[in-house]
Structure 1
Amino acid sequence: MTKRKIRGMAILLTVLVGLTIGWSIWNGKLYEYDHEAFQAIAESLTFEKKIPMKMPFKKLEVSQRNLNKVEEKLNVTLTNVNKETMEVYIGIEPKESFDGLKGEEVQINNNRGTFISEDSGKRILAWQEDDVHYQITYFYKLTPKEVSKKTLIRMAEAFA
């Protein structure tokens, strides 16, 4: 090989490595959001619970809420102007059964959870902490990999 070809290959390799590292850093970033609206809704639940403090998208706001005081459960949908959507469930009982779905066991802080990589246009991470059940559902726009399993776990670990 000539020096010119070697130099071209080195530049190409450097660019590819840089893009890969940049994508993985950007793809896994979590953002602060205005969680006061979420906190105000969650205060209606009578049990001790945590709420999400960080999200994988910028400027998410509460777009829907479904509070059932009798059954002690809350479902909050957060959306931004780009239609990126996350749904967070908090309740005494699990939101849904994952029977028939291929789930992967994951670790969230000191708790075990279930990660569903793809279920009809969404990714799901569910876990129980003390006697409270939590579930994060990410509705993807193009592919499930837009928000990684690692990012969802980091989001869950940032509940406070």
Structure 2
Amino acid sequence: MRLLGFICSSIVAVALLVGNVTNADASERYGKQKVVYHINTPGGEGDKVYLGAMRNIQNHINAVGAENLDLKVVIHGNGIGLLQSAKAAGNVQTAVANLRSQSVGFEVCANTLKGKNIALDQLYEVFNEDVVPSGVAELARLQQMGYTYIKP
């Protein structure tokens, strides 16, 4: 009988320990993160690709916590369509605005703007300080600075 009580107590203790591990605070599990998301593809039908990428970013924030993230989105090439689509009221604009309100930085390639002849006022909430000389060079720079690269 004593052995059975010990086994039951041990099982309960292990269950409690496992429960505490699985419910660990996100900051304990993930810590602080520096991440760069790379957007350079067209949005697809109904901006499906852009909305999927924005969902990935939001899910990342939900898991780690905005206070634990230094998150940037680098946009170049056909990815510029994200901020062109966001210019019109709708789901893409809502997603971008929501991410910005959580301190997500959007960086836009000057080469793309020049090559596609796009002015900043044709994009949603892009200012001079958001423009980087080269999207791909910025991705490399951020990775050298310890940012984890993610291509949604």
Q: Is the TM-score greater than 0.5?
A: no
Larger helix proportion of the pair? 2
Q: Which has the higher contact order (CA 8 A, sep 6+)?
A: 2
TM-score with structure 1 length normalisation? 0.28
**Structure with bigger gyration radius:** 2
Larger strand proportion of the pair? 1
TM-score with structure 2 length normalisation? 0.29
